[in-house]
Amino acid sequence: MGYIEFLSEHGVTLLLGTVTTLKVLICSIILYVIISMIFGLMRLSKNPIIQGAATCYIEFFRGTSLLVQLFWVYYVLPFFGVSLEAFTAGVVALGLNFGAYGAEIVRGGILAVPKGQWEAAFALNFSPSKRMKNIIIPQIFPIILPPAANLTVELLKATALVALVTVVDLTFEARQINSITWLSVQCFGTALLIYYFIARLALVPFLRWLEVLAARKVGKAGV
Amino acid sequence: MDMGWRWDFAYEILPQMLIATFNTIIAAGVGYAIALVVGLFFLLGQRTPSKIINAINREIVEFVRSTPLLIQLFFVYFVLPQFGITLSAWVCGMITIGLHFGTYLSEVYRGALEGVPKAQWEACRALNFSTVYTYRRIVLPQAFPIAIPGMGNYLVGIFKDTPLLSTIGVAELFHAATAVGGYNYRYLEPYTMVGVIFLILSVPAAMGIRKLEKKVNMAQGKIKQQ
C-alpha cells in the first residue's frame, strides 16, 4: 500500500489523535505553569514548613519516573477512592511532574534578579507582596523563558505517555493502526513527523516569540 | 477485596521487584554507555568542516530530540523486523535509548568544548601543537570537568526513562510491577514500591551530581568557597 493510500485511509484518525495530544499539551502546560509558580515561590519562603513541603514535593516528583507517577495516579488512586478519567489523570500527572522541574526554574529565575532591585524595593518601603508582584516577578520572565521553553518541548514529548493509560491521543492511534495494518513505518513514521512539526513549527517559534516579548517588556530588547 | 496497604503482600513480591531493579540498573547502564559513544559521533558530525554534514547532523539531532522516546521505541521495535532485522526487545530498547540520549549528550559535549576559552586554542596554535595534541593535552582535560554535571544528569534521566522499555516487553522493574499487579489484581503495592525504589536510587544520585557540579564550578573559579 502506498503512502498516499495510507494517509487517505488513516489520516483522519491520526489527525483526531493529534487534536487530543494538543488538548493534553495545552491543559498540562497551564497546570504546570501554575504549579511551578506556586512551588517556586514556596521554595524561597523563609518559613521552614512551607519551604520543606515544596522541597519534598520537588524532590519526590523529580526523583521518580513520570510513567510510574502516571500509572500511580491512574491505577492506584482509585484504591483511595479518587477515580480520575484517563485524560484528567494524564494531565494531572504531567502537570505535577513538570511543575516540579518548573518550580526549580522559577526559583533560579527569582534568585537571578539583581540584588539591587530587591534593595531598591526595600528602600522604597514596598510591602513584600508588592515587591514580589511589581518588581521581581516581571523581571524573571526573560531569565526563565529559555529553560522553560526546553521544558515545554520535553512536555510535548512526554504527552505521548498518556497513551499508555488509554487516552486516545496520537501515540495511541498510531499504535492502534499499527496493530491492525502492521504498516509500522507509515504509522509510527507519520506520528514522529507530526510530533516533530508541532515542536519545530508551532511550539518552538511561539516560545521564542514569548522570549522576545518578555525581553522587550523589561527593556532588554537587543533583538 | 482488602483495599488498604498490605505489608505481607509487599514482602511477598519484594524479591521479584529487587531482581527486576537489577535489570533496570543494567538497562540504564548499558543504554548510557551506548549514548556516550553515540554522542561522540554526533559531536564529530557537528565539528567536521563540511557544511552539508553539519546541516544533516543538526537536523537529525533536532528530529530525535523533539520526538517522543516512546514512539521511537515502537518505531525501532516494529519497523526493523520488516526489513528482516529481528532484534530482541532488550537490544531494540538499548539502541533507541542510546540514540535518543546520544543526541542530548552531544549537546553536553559541545557545550563543554565551547566552554574552553578560545585563547587556549590560539595559544596551542601559536605553540605549533598538532590538532590531536591540542585536543588530548590541552582542550579535553579542561572540557571534561565542564561536561561532568550534564553527563551525570542524563544518567539519572536515562534511569528514569527505563520504565518506557516495559512497553516493548523488556523485563525491567516497571514491567515486573505490572506483571505482578495483573497476576494478583493488586496495583497499589507494586506501583508504590516502584516509586519508592526509584526515589531511593535517584535522589542520592541527583544529590551527588549537584555536589559534583558545585565542586566543578568551584575548581573553575565560577563560585567561591563558602
Cβ within 8 Å, pair A188-B78: yes
Q: How many structural domains is chain A composed of?
A: 1
Best of A1, A56, A62, A71 to disrupt the B interface (most B CBs within 10 Å) is: A71
> How would residue B3 be classed by pLDDT, with cut points 50, 70 and 90?
low
B63, part of any domain: yes
Q: How many structural domains is chain B composed of?
A: 1
B224, part of any domain: no
B51, part of any domain: yes
Closest CA to B79 of A191, A183, A3, A164: A183
CATH number of the domain residue A37 falls in: 1.10.3720.10
B56, part of any domain: yes
| Nearest CB to B71; choose among A64, A192, A199 | A192
CA distances from A89 to A133, B163, B198 (A): 32, 18, 21
pLDDT of residue A47: 93
B194, part of any domain: yes
Contact B141, B162 (CB under 8 A): no
Mean pLDDT in chain A?
91
Contacts of B75 in chain A (CB under 8 A): 184, 188-189, 192
Cβ within 8 Å, pair A158-B63: no
What is the rounded CA–CA span in Å between residue B16 and residue B175?
A: 11
For residue range A22-60, list pLDDT tens digits in order: 999 999 999 999 999 999 999 999 999 999 999 999 999
pLDDT of residue B6: 86
For residue range B33-89, list pLDDT tens digits in order: 999 999 999 999 988 889 999 999 999 999 999 999 999 999 999 998 888 888 899
A108-144 per-residue burial string, b: 16 or more CB within 10 A, e: under 16: ebbeebeeeeeeebeeeeeeeeebbeebbbebbbbbb
Cβ contacts below 8 Å, chain A against chain B, sum to 110
Please give the residue range of the domain that contains residue A160. 3-217
What's the gap in Å between the CA of B47 and the closest CA on chain A?
23
* A67-74 average pLDDT score: 93
For residue range B5-36, list pLDDT tens digits in order: 888 888 989 999 999 999 999 999 999 999 99
Please give the residue range of the domain that contains residue B142. 7-219
For residue range B117-157, list pLDDT tens digits in order: 999 999 999 999 998 999 999 898 888 888 988 899 999 99
For residue range B173-199, list pLDDT tens digits in order: 999 999 999 898 888 899 999 999 999
CATH number of the domain residue B34 falls in: 1.10.3720.10
A223, part of any domain: no
A92, part of any domain: yes
What is the rounded CA–CA span in Å between residue B225 and residue B134?
A: 31
